[in-house]
Structure 1
Amino acid sequence: MQTTLLRKAIILGLLSAIGPFAVDMYLPSLPTIGQTLNANATEVQLSLLVFFVALGVGQLLYGPLSDRYGRKAPLYIGLTLFAFASVGCATAQTIETLIIFRFLQGMGACAGMVVPRAIVRDLHTGVEAAKLMSMLMLVFSISPILAPLTGGFIIELAGWRAVFWFVTVAAVLGLGLLALFLDETRPQAARAESSIASTFAAYGRLLRDRTFLGLVFIGAFGIASFFSYLANSPFVLIDHYGLSKLQYALCFSINAASFFAFAQLTGFLAGKFGLRRVVRVAVTCFAASMTVALVLFLAGVDRLDVLAACLFVGYGFLGLVIPTTAVLALEEHGAIAGSASALMGTLQFMTGVAVMLVVGSFLNGTAVPMVAGIAGCAIIAFVLTLVTLRAPARSVIVPAE
């Protein structure tokens, strides 16, 4: 049983990680891409922004498709589109061409973001779902931990275009894993109940569910804080603090390692204290650590070690928030898990995009706008937690024995 669970987590985690690899590997090269394609920082960041927009919008398509036609078919479509667009990115000669193919790449990658969450809900609920979700995130962690380091080495050896050839190969390998090792989890009888009308009805029901929306946006502002870091950290850490690309990749990987190390405690803590209590405590600690960072930087403390320490602690607690809120949000929506996962992903990614735009408009060459954006997201997540989880749970989650 444990072996089967681990095998599923590895496959789902790798499929989920292919898209983020396309982000994390090329982060160290953002300044270089601007120089190569004669683009300014705003235009280069747009190539990141449109990827996230596509990730958000595309999930609304893949979620209902996975409910109607099964979980595997949308994954085939998404991975194929991702591979095609990656080749386009690798051969782009202008920033406009790169931006177009980055959008298409995001439209393909989002299948790997939404469908695995639905598969987890197909298989388990409650604490068992939290355990599988945290195991999936452990495998998923290879992206933000290893991708910047791998990308840094690849960029140093072969240039930024080689990054996109690398993720093309990864997509092809993902298609192989999907075909050979992943079973279909959506029964034929359940698919027959899905239609365009039922999809719109499902979205309507979910948008009226205050608990679902509250949990989704707690996770959304947690993810948005990370988006703010993704978009701005290359310019802050490389240009402002003077780190090399490899030093930046190492710094990025340390924060990511904290996130996913804490995430592995989700199953244990959820079984011992309950999912809702884990969310409340973790969000409180996340908000507290990032508020401390904001106060220090507003007071004139402009030090990389202080920033790194606060992010390490804050993103560690965020690692407990993301999987638990996802499990709680999908808990009572098993019949429409694909649509629920899609709406959750879309709302979260679009929130992240909005925060990226706001924070990006305040860039001034220092770390303060980035820190303020991260802290603001953490505080909003804290307030949403107070409002959403103050009421008794609608269903009882039995702790694992």
Structure 2
Amino acid sequence: MTSRAATGPRSTTRRAGTAQIVLVLGALIALGPLSIDMYLPAFPGIAEEFSSNEASVQLTLTGMLLGLATGQLIIGPLSDAFGRKRPLLTGLAVHALASVLCLFAPSIEMLAGVRLLQGFAGAAVSVTAMAMVRDQFEGIAVARIMSRLMLVMGAAPMLAPTLGSQVLRWSDWRGIFGVLAAAAVALVMLAVFALRETLPPERRRPARIGASISTYRSLLRDRAFLAIALIGGLMMASMFTYISGASFVFQEGFGVGEQEFAIIFGVNAFALILATQINPLLLRRFRIMDVMTVAMIGAGLSALALVVLGATGVGGIAGAMIPLTVALGCGGLVAPNTPALALSRHGEAAGSAAAILGFLQFGIGGAMAPVVGAFDSTTTVPMGAVMGSAIGIALLLMVLVRRDEQVRTFG
């Protein structure tokens, strides 16, 4: 009786501490999806103001994604050397500055360039948040925390187009970047007062270029780690393919308005969030690799359906919505499990390992996103083809991962 009474408060304290970590890190990570998705309803308006085509506007999204990718390779080792909090605060401050510069961009080229800087700054938030999770949790617990984090940060892509549409009621697309600047400033204050340093000095690594290169070389020699990271990148690329092409398919192809598009985007985001919350329940009964494999097969079949239904015109807008919702839901069963598997292998260099994960996620996503626009089509055929190609390669890599002894032991 005494023992149970003693452990009860400690358990409650741990749960409260975990909830605070999830809420604070979720709020910080949400800045990335907000920066990516909030201006999507303004794509046609941006194209009209700058007299640009669809592919040129999508390059502003690509700039953001490439900045997120390359920034992580630099900031990851810095977070291993100087702790998590300093790079995080610096990144938030630079993000606020970049948002102001986007607000005053005089051309589509300048906007794309500043979005690159904005993405670079956002990388600090992404990589340090993931490393903070690994600093404090291990094994399946990382997958569970990542699932909860995606609940919090998943509200961002769900609400972002709606928020952007509301801003467009009283402003043009520039007002959206004013809102992002204010959000970054608010998050600086949140990080200062509500987040503690999770990497003590005795666990930090040398701040030398040679040491960073050596760490990356060691990580890349781990074939299973690299394959898992590539799977995460390819699955994220399928999601960014949807993000970059959705506004043109639904707004121009099916003729829906800004407000209706925000609802469609929200439904698909809800499917993603719901899947991430089902994920911890599935992990209680099934191996993590089995959950990921079945989800990836489901996503691949959904991408194939997009191609077939888009080419034949069968189903109309429902023929686009249903496969996309299923594909994104399946992606929600892969997204939190990929970092759990990858980071479990290299907890001693969590910042650098998280940087490779992020680099491949946003790098592959940034490279593939404009491919849809290059087809200059308002059907779901190019979107489904690009998504299906990425998922197909990810499934081939999964065959390699499943042969790894450490992975089989983990999940």
Fold conserved (TM > 0.5)? yes
Distance (whole Å) between structure 1 residues aligned to residue 205 and residue 309 of structure 2: 57
Q: Where does residue 254 of structure 1 map in the other structure?
A: 267
CA distance in 1, matches of 2:311, 2:390: 17
The answer to whether the 8 A contact 2:402-2:408 is kept is no
d(CA) in 1 for partners of 2:406, 2:109: 49
Matched ranges for 1:93-108 at <5 A: 93-108=106-121
1:200 partnered with 2:213: yes
Matching residue within 45, 62, 66 for 1:49: 62
Contact in 1 for aligned 2:341/2:407 (Cα 8 Å) = no
The alignment status of 1:85 with 2:98, answered yes or no, reads yes
Q: Which residue of 2 aligns with 1:28?
A: 41
Q: Distance in 2 between matches of 1:58 and 1:367?
A: 32
Q: Distance in 2 between matches of 1:91 and 1:252?
A: 27
1:127 to 140, 148, 152: 140
Match of 1:110 in 2: 123
Residue correspondence of structure 1 range 1-400 to structure 2 within 5 A: 1-193=14-206, 195-301=208-314, 303-394=316-407, 396-397=409-410
Asked if the contact 1:283–1:385 (Cα under 8 Å) also holds between the matched residues in 2, the reply is no
Task: Please list the CA deviations of residues 216-259 of structure 1 after superposition, one character each: whole Å capped at 9, or x if unmatched.
Answer: 11111111011111111111111111010111111111111101
Separation in structure 2 between the aligned mates of residue 281 and residue 43 of structure 1, nearest angstrom? 36
Shift of 1:174: 0.7
Measure the CA separation in 1 of the matches of 2:380 and 2:297: 23
8 Å contact kept, 1:66–1:74 = yes
- Is the 1:218–1:385 Cα contact (8 Å) retained in structure 2? yes
In structure 2, what residue type is equivalent to 1:118?
Answer: A
Matched position secondary structure for 1:304 = helix
Say if 1:391 and 1:188 are closer, same or farther in 2 by CA, change over 3 A.
Answer: closer
CA–CA separation in structure 2 for the residues paired with 1:204 and 1:302: 49
**CA–CA distance in structure 2, aligned partners of residues 65 and 133 of structure 1:** 22
Cα distance in 1 between the residues matched to 2:338 and 2:311? 31
Matched to 1:77, the amino acid is T
| CA distance, structure 2, for counterparts of residue 49 and residue 284 of structure 1 | 27
After superposition, give the CA deviation of every residue in 1:25-53 in whole Å (9 maximum; x if it has no partner). 10000110121233332221111111111
Counterpart code for 2:338: T
Distance 2:211 2:278 in 1: 37
C-alpha displacement of 1:378: 2.0
CA gap 1:357/1:226 in 2 versus in 1, 3 angstroms: same
**One-letter code aligned to 1:105:** Q
Q: 1:39 to 1:201 in 2, by over 3 A?
A: same
- Runs of at least 5 residues in structure 1 that lack an aligned partner in the other structure: none
1:302, distance to aligned residue in structure 2 (A):
6.2
- Deviation of the 1:279 alpha carbon: 1.3
Q: Rate the CA distance shift 1:31–1:200 in 2: closer, same or farther, 3 A.
A: same
Output the CA distance in 2 between the equivalents of 1:130 and 1:214: 18
* Sequence identity (%): 37
- Is the Cα–Cα contact under 8 Å of residues 130 and 267 in structure 1 kept in the other structure? yes
- Is the CA contact 1:128–1:267 (under 8 Å) kept in the aligned structure 2? no
Distance of 1:362 and 1:13 partners within structure 2: 35
Please report how far the alpha carbon of residue 395 of structure 1 lies from its aligned counterpart in structure 2 after TM superposition.
Answer: 7.0
The one-letter amino acid paired with 2:133 is V
Residues 369 and 302 (structure 1 numbering): CA distance in 2 closer, same or farther, change over 3 Å?
A: farther
Q: 1:193, 1:269 → 2: CA distance?
A: 40
Partners of 2:129 and 2:314 lie apart in 1 by 42
C-alpha distance in 1 between matches for 2:198 and 2:336: 20
Report the 3-state secondary structure (helix = DSSP H, G, I; strand = E; otherwise coil) of the residue aligned with 1:92.
Answer: coil
Cα RMSD, aligned residues only:
1.6
Q: CA deviation at 1:382?
A: 1.9
Aligned amino acid, residue 129 of structure 2: P
Displacement of 1:286 in angstroms is 1.7
Q: What amino acid sits opposite 1:323 in the alignment?
A: P
Structure 2 residue ranges without an equivalent (≥5): 1-13
- Alpha carbons 2:73, 2:359 under 8 Å: kept: yes
Normalising by structure 1, we get a TM-score of 0.95
- Partner residue, 2:7: none
In 2, Cα distance between the equivalents of 1:302 and 1:350?
33
Specify whether residues 140 and 301 from structure 1 end up closer, same or farther in structure 2 by C-alpha distance, changes over 3 A only: same
